[in-house]
Chains A and B, each alone.
Chain A
Amino acid sequence: MLRMKKYVRQIGLGILSTLLVARVANALDFEVVGTGGNQIPVVIMPFAQENAYAQLITPVVKADLTRSGLFKLVDFTPAQTPTDLNQIPYDELTRRGVMAVAIGTVEPQASGVAVVKYRLVDVAKHEQIDGLALNQPATQLRRIAHKVADRIFEKLTGDRGVFSTKIAYVLKQGKRFFLQVADADGYNPQSVVSSSEPIISPAWSADGGQIAYVSFEAKKPVVYVQSLSTGNRKAVANFKGSNSSPAFSADGSRLAVVLTQEGHSQIYSVPAQGGPAKRLSQSNGIDTEPTFAPDGSIYFTSDRGGSPQIYRMGSEGGAASRVTFEGAYNVSPDISPDGKGMVFVQNAGGRFRVAFMDFASRQTQLLTDTSHDESPSFAPNGKLILYATQQGGHGVLAAVSSDGRVKQKLTELAGDVREPAWGPFTGR
């Protein structure tokens, strides 16, 4: 078991203390608490001349790959930093069992631009597997490093990397609530909403440009949609009673929400800009927590059968079929990006844990060994699940791989963290 800690803290008061909300300056802290079985042994050589900038590339790439649990970062410091294929010490790397090596350079240009070049090389074949040259403002070095890590991840595992994506979560500090958006590694947290009343259920639009959430600022739950770039927000479901649990349709035109127009909580569809609501679910009980599958169908939680279970209905609502049968409390579904399975929270004996169901086999596997799990959310590559849990009476975020083997904890240093939602892929 590999234990790694605290490489994600130096974000600083230096940068963020200028913000009004300096207390939110702490980044999330990552800790890998379990790793996959077959790790790919790699060496990430120091990027030549990266010391020209305070923001280094190499440590970010290494941290990303380590955190995924799928790589063994072999420690290797060459006498001279290789910048070309013929300078790589293949024999030494082979002796250490290294499969692939990354090399790179950082070239400062005039007007604040940096050219970052990276190559990934197959150690056995002495062949380049991947290469990239990026011409970007030097303020974007951290983002470039995540992009390099994404490329390495994809070339060596076959799955798209999620290191450049973002996560949203709710932070409670004292009596204030903050809707935070941060890089997937917990860096660069930004408060996009702050309030003295609770905020829950953030949900991303498919293009990553908007976020929907429930705010209690009106002394009752109302659904808002907010543009992340402009901060413009609009109440899109503010009907009499409660308005909650938003989920964007894939094309971003509509939201599934939960309203109480008929008294009990039912699932409706509203335009993403607000407008009349159309009822989708039809039961005499509670229907809530709608989430879209890639095929447009809607999975949701309902107690129509006597206990809360997960059901599925078509994109236009109507008749529903029951999906979960084991146990008396199965809630909070999130469908995998490939549509082949779902994660949800199962309560067994007072322990609320994240479980994964494979739709083809209907087999369910518990993924976590914690007890207060909530709000599981798939990474856009389907390989990791972010969820909220508790540690020492504090709300923390954790991540687990879809096979349950790799586990990470993300702790906010001062406050309760909850309601995570992993953002989509954006751009290529």
Chain B
Amino acid sequence: MQGLKLAGSLLLAGLLAACASNTPQNGAGAPVENRTASTDTSTNQVTDDGKMAQVDLDKQNGDEIANLQKGSVFFDYDQFTVRDEFKGLIEANAAYLKKNPAAKLLIQGNTDERGSREYNLALGQKRANAVKEAIEVLGADSARVEAASLGEEKPRCEQATEDCYAQNRRADFLYQGK
């Protein structure tokens, strides 16, 4: 589980980096606009050549989505509750949904390979549901959050080992739209 915790921390670091990246694209120009006012301390660099940088909001959101989609919530064997260590990830997703009213989130629950495929699909649904509830508790609009299951069909790791099974017992985040 150490590795997973580490992955979670890296992800949060990545999110912070994404938030701080509202700097001019080419590093030389001046910002035209910055809509996330809370992070504007690093953006007020005015340079001499008169060129101004353009902030591409689509790309910015895309980067943020890409970072959010890198995160996964991992579950213990036969368990369906979201462990505390994933609180930061849940909060980041809830915050993104609140900030972007058009964003839609598909949460995909997954299981390890042991047992019936259809029963595992139902178990993966329980994991997706647990993550959905955790995000909704933080105020995200439930109409824009969908929980579905991939069961054992999309394993991240394909060996029959406990380490592998642990990587497959997870929920992933997939954003549709912006």
Q: Which residues of A does B touch, CB under 8 Å? A: 198, 200-201, 216, 219-221, 240-242, 244-245, 258, 260, 263-265, 286, 288-289, 301, 308, 329, 331-332, 345, 347, 352, 374-375, 393, 418-419
Contacts and interface: CB of A to CB of B under 8 A. Distances in A.
Nearest 7 A-B pairs (CB), nearest first?
A220-B148, A265-B122, A198-B153, A286-B122, A331-B116, A288-B122, A242-B148
In the complex, which of the residues B114, B125, B147 has the most CB atoms of chain A within 10 Å of its own CB atom? B125
Interface residues of B, number: 24
B115 A265 contact: no
Given A220-B150, A241-B146, A331-B119, 8 more contacts: A198-B153, A219-B106, A260-B129, A263-B129, A286-B119, A288-B118, A332-B116, A345-B116
B117 A308 contact: no
B126 A286 contact: yes
B175 to A, nearest CB: 11
Nearest to B153: A198
A198 B114 CA distance: 17
B119 A288 contact: yes
A11 B149 CA distance: 38
10 contacts: A198-B154, A201-B118, A221-B151, A241-B147, A242-B121, A258-B122, A286-B122, A301-B119, A308-B116, A418-B117
A393 to B, nearest CB: 8
A241 B116 contact: no
In the complex, which of the residues A264, A265, A393, A419 has the most CB atoms of chain B within 10 Å of its own CB atom? A265
A244 B115 contact: no
A347 B154 CA distance: 23
Contacts of B160: 393
Contacts of B108: 219-220
Interface string B16-36: 000000000000000000000
Contacts of A245: 118, 121
A198 B174 CA distance: 17
A375 B126 CA distance: 22
A244 B106 contact: no
A331 B119 CA distance: 8
A352 B115 contact: yes
A260 B118 contact: no
B123 interface: yes
B148 A260 contact: yes
Interface string B108-135: 1000001111110111011001000000
B28 to A, nearest CB: 40
Contacts of A200: 117-118, 121, 151, 153
A374 B115 CA distance: 7
Given A219-B108, A264-B126, A242 B149 contact: yes
A235 to B, nearest CB: 14
Contacts of A393: 160
Contacts of A242: 121, 125, 148-149
